[in-house]
Amino acid sequence: MTQPNLARSWVASANGHPDFPLQNLPLGIFSQQGSAPRSGVAIGEHIFDLQAALDAGLFDGAAKRAVEATRGGQLNAFFELGRGARQALRQRLLELFGENSSLRGRIEAEGARLLPLAADCVMHLPAKIGDYTDFYVGIEHAQNVGKLFRPDNPLLPNYKHVPIGYHGRASTVRPSGTDVMRPKGQTLPAGQTEPVFGPCARLDYELELGIWIGQGNAMGDSIAIGDAAEHIAGYCLLNDWSARDVQAWEYQPLGPFLSKSFITSVSPWVVTAEALEPFRKAQPARPAGDPQPLPYLLDQHDQEAGAFDIELEVLLQTEAMREQQLPPQRLTLSNTRHMYWTVAQMVAHHSVNGCQLQAGDLFGSGTLSGPEAGQFGSLLEITEGGKKPVELPSGEIRRFLEDGDEIILRARCRREGFASIGFGECRGRVLPAR
Amino acid sequence: MTQPNLARSWVASANGHPDFPLQNLPLGIFSQQGSAPRSGVAIGEHIFDLQAALDAGLFDGAAKRAVEATRGGQLNAFFELGRGARQALRQRLLELFGENSSLRGRIEAEGARLLPLAADCVMHLPAKIGDYTDFYVGIEHAQNVGKLFRPDNPLLPNYKHVPIGYHGRASTVRPSGTDVMRPKGQTLPAGQTEPVFGPCARLDYELELGIWIGQGNAMGDSIAIGDAAEHIAGYCLLNDWSARDVQAWEYQPLGPFLSKSFITSVSPWVVTAEALEPFRKAQPARPAGDPQPLPYLLDQHDQEAGAFDIELEVLLQTEAMREQQLPPQRLTLSNTRHMYWTVAQMVAHHSVNGCQLQAGDLFGSGTLSGPEAGQFGSLLEITEGGKKPVELPSGEIRRFLEDGDEIILRARCRREGFASIGFGECRGRVLPAR
């Protein structure tokens, strides 16, 4: 169905760009030298200023209406327009930036519309987040963590029936680059019965796929799994920073709370479903003995093309590594194929009780670990809860994150005959507790 | 400190009004015959239209700025102004509506500003809710429910150290009067290993106090317990509708999710801290052997006056009872004194990790049951999970809620020498699953 696509752009830096070739065209919200946040599209090393392009008359029809909906420094109204508007905009952007575009002259003539990405542009959250939900669909992570907490019973009986999720904190979702202040909280020292209060001593990252919700549903309505694609606006990377010592003490019986709510970082570019289309996969066959999903979670198209092949990477750079000019060290190389449930299944499950989803809601997939060493999406798993420290090129070791450590998430989609695309980075540096 | 107060109003229906005498003056957002939602104050059987009063020049100085911040159909900006603005507005309202007010003539001359509450006014949510957090501070409820799930271990070891809470769903909080569609979901039938999908068969209510957050904090800052009052805008009643069968199957390991997110109902009037001041109490002494709170949860003023004496009531009226013209039947009579943690402790705990609270955030207290029969704040507790049905005057029995059942929450504050105040109702009627 998806045709091979290696088309090139007249924007030279787009061709072969690891994240933002012509085939990606992710949307985001940026500001420049303190200007009001506005919408743009990443292409190569540039941001295409949508508002300026709109003012210059480069859009009409459905694409124009789509760009108009990106006004106001947030993409919620654009997300709400749904798939048709998004596809119309993409089609127009492909025309504008294709190698042989007759419009190159018009865009170049007004160079201010193609801004250097790296220079003085600051990225913001792409949307105002109504609610943030964190799922737990990474089955290898669920098993790895389950083993630490419940050696005899790593995976709970509901896991293979229910796309487990829980409500997260929307107010502290922040774009890549926001510093991560080490949180304080209650923890129970090993072997003690009385908790103590102080800075988190087991600060961790979690490698997740983020999902931006498009069109919402009315309270009381459910989104059928076959309609889920209408309700998904795009994707990002998400770091679900976690205070493991706080989490272990607080999480029963109602789940994680302050161990997660101090910050959640996302990559700022919204990678669209259209850009990811070539990297869709059939869901892997469930292992023998696994139950079939209940009918509301089952859809033939979703079975055949609901999974993604996206390579996910985590890198760490410590203060000492920066001083020694050592590059970031890879901690994790994983893939979205370790999701036991698809994004469409998450959407269908979340709304099956009539819960209202709204444009700009954010989902996290849950930590996406692989089964092997090198594929674990958190230090909790890599170090087995701190027992097996990681050695770094600087000669340091890490059980959990130290002040000054920076975590960088990246994603890459590769397929023969298709331009590779990426998500841009999701970075955060740990600051000492105040 | 608090002086006895039985002052009367020239608004005749306010004197002796069970909910809204002169001493209460709660704020809310209403509309009339399809008008745009706007702010008002309940007094007796009337709503005082704040925008109309502002236009008529009845406010100046800090009170005027406070009313200006109530514009736009939501109270968030007013909440953000904090305690000083709220108190200035209250002072002015007391002048306007006191028995001997010299301004009575001006208000009566423009009768449109004092609208009949019951007639054609529709109440809305008072604020746009950023995040909703549900706590679990009702210790009797925690013990009652704990016994059902863990007979040997009803209260988990963290309970008396941590004000347990979890993130709830903000998008489905609705004002009193909104119908409650029976949710559908996955449940595990007793004795089975495979879940089934269908309408919830164990639909329940939960009696809670709601708390509206006032001034917020920046991410990374904590709100000291001694400053919590600056950050609390007011109070309401909250019904945390619960699908017990869905909950039992989904809640491990990350907490309740779809079993709660189909709807949460709140009473629409924001009862201020000032109105509740006479009904504050010292925190009851912790039973011998209970741990002292950690220092960040300990404040002398909070110990001496951080608790509330608010009577809480739940009534049920079934379809058959309405047909037989039987009045609602009381299911629960409880009190906020069963809170093991105060509201100030909740605020301090929630923000101690640097989590950002924002004006218009909503907290639920958790179910506030008493220790005795008749005081249980949910059917789960009353019927011991369905084992002991409730008999109703209509000859019906209830284990859990049936379609057509209406649940009504009420609250009343009483104290010798003080006018009683109430919260208004929080109602919801159960509709069949779609």
The tens digit of pLDDT for each residue in A52-87 reads: 999 999 999 999 999 999 999 999 999 999 999 999
Asked whether A156 and B248 are in contact (CB, 8 A), the reply is no
Domains contained in chain B, CATH given: 12-124 (2.30.30.230), 132-307+336-371 (3.90.850.10)
Residue A139 pLDDT class (50, 70, 90 cuts):
very high
Q: Please, how many CA atoms are within 13 Å of residue A399, restricted to the half-sphere of its CB?
A: 11
Place of tokens 């607080």: A250
Answer yes or no: is A405 a known binding residue: no
Minimum distance, in Å, between the CA of residue B219 and any CA atom of chain A = 7
Answer yes or no: is A230 a known binding residue: no
A294–B350 CB contact, under 8 Å: no
Give the tokens for residue B265. 């109902």
What's the mean pLDDT when you consider all of chain A?
96
pLDDT value of residue B316: 98
Q: What are the b/e assignments for A164-182, b being 16+ CB within 10 Å?
A: bbbbbbbbbbbbbebebbb
Tell me which chain B residues have a C-beta less than 8 angstroms from the C-beta of A250.
158, 162, 164
A355–B131 CB contact, under 8 Å: no
Q: Round the CA-based radius of gyration of chain A to a whole number and report it.
A: 22
Residue B80 or A34, more confident: B80
pLDDT value of residue B112: 60
Give the tokens for residue B106. 């001006």
Among A168, A186, A263, select the one facing B162 at the smallest CB separation.
Answer: A186
pLDDT value of residue A153: 82
Asked whether B173 and B236 are in contact (CB, 8 A), the reply is no
Among B197, B259, B349, select the one facing A296 at the smallest CB separation.
Answer: B197
The torsion region of residue B322 among left (phi > 0), alpha (psi -120 to 50) and beta comes to: alpha
CA–CA gap between residue B7 and residue B21 (Å, rounded):
9
Give residues with Cβ within 8 angstroms of B420, minimum separation 6: B18, B21, B412, B413, B414
Q: Rounded mean pLDDT of A13-25?
A: 97
Answer yes or no: is A113 a known binding residue: no
Choose from A148, A158, A167 for mutation: most chain B CBs within 10 A: A167
Q: What are the b/e assignments for B327-363, b being 16+ CB within 10 Å?
A: ebbebbbbbbbbbbbbbbbbbbbbbbbbbbbbbbbbb
Among A172, A220, A354, select the one facing B356 at the smallest CB separation.
Answer: A172
Asked whether B423 and B21 are in contact (CB, 8 A), the reply is no
pLDDT value of residue B111: 62
pLDDT value of residue A111: 62
Residue B148 pLDDT class (50, 70, 90 cuts):
confident
Asked whether B283 and B342 are in contact (CB, 8 A), the reply is yes
Asked whether A78 and A68 are in contact (CB, 8 A), the reply is no
CA–CA gap between residue B352 and residue B219 (Å, rounded):
10
B353–A183 CB contact, under 8 Å: yes
Tens digit of pLDDT for each residue in A205-264?
999 999 999 999 999 999 999 999 999 999 999 999 999 999 999 999 999 999 999 999
Minimum distance, in Å, between the CA of residue A381 and any CA atom of chain B = 17
What's the mean pLDDT when you consider all of chain B?
96
Answer yes or no: is A150 a known binding residue: yes
A355–B253 CB contact, under 8 Å: no
Question: DSSP label at B236?
Answer: E
Of A114-128, A219-233, A411-425, B215-229, minimum mean pLDDT range:
A114-128
The alpha carbon of B205 is separated from its chain's Cα centroid by a whole number of angstroms, namely 13
Choose from B128, B131, B380 for mutation: most chain A CBs within 10 A: B131
Of A365-369, B101-105, B183-187, B361-365, minimum mean pLDDT range:
B101-105
Q: Strand, helix or coil at B238?
A: strand
Partners of B30 in beta bridges: B38, B123
Angle at alpha carbon of residue A360, lines to A359 and A364, rounded to 5°: 120
Size of interface A-B (CB pairs under 8 A): 190
Tens digit of pLDDT for each residue in B159-190?
999 999 999 999 999 999 999 999 999 999 99
Asked whether B4 and B418 are in contact (CB, 8 A), the reply is yes
Residue whose C-alpha is closest to residue A329's, from A407, A434, A426, A412: A407
pLDDT value of residue A116: 87
Choose from B254, B357, B429 for mutation: most chain A CBs within 10 A: B254
Q: Is the pLDDT of residue A195 over 70?
A: yes
H or E segment and range at residue A197: strand A196-199
Q: Is the pLDDT of residue A175 over 70?
A: yes
Q: Which residues of B are catalytic?
A: 141
pLDDT value of residue B8: 97
DSSP string of B33-62?
A: TTPPPEEEEEETTEEEEHHHHHHTT---HH
Q: Is the pLDDT of residue B290 over 60?
A: yes
Q: Strand, helix or coil at B174?
A: strand
pLDDT value of residue A109: 80
CA–CA gap between residue B372 and residue B382 (Å, rounded):
10
The alpha carbon of A49 is separated from its chain's Cα centroid by a whole number of angstroms, namely 23
Cα nearest neighbour of A166 on chain B: B257
Q: Rounded mean pLDDT of B371-390?
A: 97
pLDDT value of residue A112: 60
Angle at alpha carbon of residue A238, lines to A235 and A239, rounded to 5°: 175
CA–CA gap between residue B172 and residue A354 (Å, rounded):
9
A180-181 and A173-175: which strand pairing?
unpaired
B264-266 and B173-175: which strand pairing?
parallel
CA–CA gap between residue A163 and residue A294 (Å, rounded):
11
Residue whose C-alpha is closest to residue A19's, from A39, A2, A43: A43
B362-364 and B132-135: which strand pairing?
parallel
Give the tokens for residue A376. 């674990």
B255–A255 CB contact, under 8 Å: yes
Give the tokens for residue A129. 């987040």
Residue A1 or A152, more confident: A152
Tell me which chain A residues have a C-beta less than 8 angstroms from the C-beta of B295.
197
pLDDT value of residue A118: 74
Q: Rounded mean pLDDT of A301-308?
A: 97
Asked whether A85 and A40 are in contact (CB, 8 A), the reply is no
A158–B352 CB contact, under 8 Å: no
Q: Which residues of A are catalytic?
A: 141
Q: Rounded mean pLDDT of A346-356?
A: 98
Q: Is the pLDDT of residue A1 over 60?
A: no
Tens digit of pLDDT for each residue in B333-364?
999 999 999 999 999 999 999 999 999 999 99
Please report the sign of the dihedral spanned by the C-alpha atoms of residue A366, residue A370, residue A373, residue A374. Answer: negative
How big, in percent rounded to 5, are the helix, strand and coil portions of chain B? 25, 25, 50
C-beta neighbour count of B136 within 10 angstroms: 22
CA–CA gap between residue A270 and residue B158 (Å, rounded):
40
Asked whether B80 and B61 are in contact (CB, 8 A), the reply is no
Residue whose C-alpha is closest to residue A39's, from A84, A106, A82, A93: A93
Q: Is the pLDDT of residue B1 over 70?
A: no
In percent, the amount of chain A with pLDDT more than 90 equals: 92
B162–A294 CB contact, under 8 Å: no
Place of tokens 């001694």: B226
Place of tokens 């998500």: A423
Residue A288 pLDDT class (50, 70, 90 cuts):
very high
Complex ipTM? 0.97
Give the tokens for residue A314. 């985590």
